[in-house]
Amino acid sequence: MSRKYEPRVPDGVDVTRPNIARIYDYVLYGKDNFAVDRAAAEKLMESGLDRRVALANRAFLGRVVGFLASQGITQYLDLGSGLPTSPSVHEVARGTIPGARVVYVDHDPIVVAHNDALLATRDGVITIRADIRDPDAVLGHEALAGCIDFSKPVAVLLLSVLHFISHEEDAAGIVARFRERMAPGSYLSVSVGTSEGADPGMLEKATQTYAGARMPFTLRSRAQIMDLFDGFDLVEPGLVSLPEWRPAFNTDRTPLTGPTVGAVGQLRK
């Protein structure tokens, strides 16, 4: 009788509680998750959160990074990166710019351990352990300073992470702190859940499930999401459902039942 592969557990990791990065890994058909994560993911999908939302977010990441690389962006800061899933930011960016530099940021020790193991041989691609709710700790990290030159344009990516930042934790203030360090011509990309069009029953069940992972689940209005782009000019087509952002293939256009939107903005010069 076959058994589900269980990855090795780094010191300090609690496998009795579901974890956002590992839940996402399972939804993306990954192997770096535990039984508790799989159970939580199944509950989320039963509540009405379509698996295609996570898949659409990965496709969105690929199209966004491909676009940014075509604009000549050579530096990428992926905040709340999660477990590595191919194609990752560095794989897409380096398909156009071989020397592109990428910093993955996550507070989860499992994420950092996996990224270190997979990326340690690549010059200019690093992972740092830090909490994006503390932007100064991220921006002041010694390893970040050795990889990213903020005097030149950089792409800051916040993909499928801000709906785990509560209103009290001030997502707009977090983004503003990074914006202050970004050079004119830099880009910000966000994908996030929106409260507009969300099914109340689905939202209640999802909130309960994420609470078990000790994570808030906070959807925002489109106006609140637009506030994140203060100081940025949105790239066409603006703030739209993920499949509608510059779809490359017909499969990218598949409508989503989960209310998730995304946009890319360029910092005004």
User: What tokens appear for 129 in the block?
Assistant: 């352990």
CA 223 to chain centre: 20
Give strand ranges (E) for 198-244: 232-234, 240-241
Residue 54 has what pLDDT? 76
Task: Kindly report the average pLDDT of the chain as a whole number.
Answer: 82
Give the angle subtended at the CA of 109 by the CAs of 93 and 194, to the nearest 5°: 60
Q: How far is 110 from 63, CA to CA, in rounded Å?
A: 27
Average pLDDT for 198-202? 64
In this model, does residue 2 exceed pLDDT 50? no
Number of other CB atoms surrounding residue 149 within 10 Å? 13
Report all structural domains of the chain as residue ranges with CATH numbers, in order of start.
60-199+214-267 (3.40.50.150)
pLDDT in tens, 233-243: 999 999 999 99
Percent residues over pLDDT 70 in the chain: 74
Residue 197 has what pLDDT? 67
Q: How far is 133 from 126, CA to CA, in rounded Å?
A: 20
Q: How many helices (H) and strands (E) does the chain have?
A: 10, 8
pLDDT in tens, 39-79: 776 776 666 666 677 788 889 999 999 999 999 999 999 99
Q: Is 210 exposed, middle or buried (0-12, 13-18, 19+ CB in 10 A)?
A: buried
pLDDT in tens, 145-184: 999 999 999 999 999 889 888 889 999 999 999 999 999 9
pLDDT in tens, 212-229: 556 667 888 999 999 999
Nearest residue to 224 via CA among 198, 192, 188, 199: 192
Which secondary structure element, helix H or strand E, spans residue 126, and what is its range?
strand 125-129
Residue 15 has what pLDDT? 66
Q: Is the pTM higher than 0.85? A: no
Higher pLDDT, 33 or 260: 260
SS3 52: helix
Q: How far is 197 from 240, CA to CA, in rounded Å?
A: 13
Confidence of residue 257 (pLDDT cuts 50, 70, 90): low
Q: How far is 45 from 56, CA to CA, in rounded Å?
A: 15
Average pLDDT for 233-259? 80
Higher pLDDT, 232 or 116: 232
Phi, psi of 38 (to 5 degrees): -65, -40
Phi, psi of 232 (to 5 degrees): -115, 150
Q: How far is 70 from 74, CA to CA, in rounded Å?
A: 10
CA 1 to chain centre: 36
Looking at mean pLDDT, say which of 78-92, 202-216, 219-233 comes out highest: 219-233
Residue 258 has what pLDDT? 57
81 HSE (CA, 13 A, CB side): 31
Q: Are 23 and 40 in contact (CB under 8 A)?
A: yes
Q: How far is 100 from 45, CA to CA, in rounded Å?
A: 36
Confidence of residue 5 (pLDDT cuts 50, 70, 90): very low
Q: How far is 117 from 119, CA to CA, in rounded Å?
A: 6
Confidence of residue 260 (pLDDT cuts 50, 70, 90): confident
In 3-state terms the chain splits into helix, strand, coil percentages (rounded to 5) of 40, 15, 45
**Per-position DSSP letters for 165-190, written without gaps between them:** S-GGG-HHHHHHHHHHHSPTT-EEEE
User: What tokens appear for 67 in the block?
Assistant: 């676009």
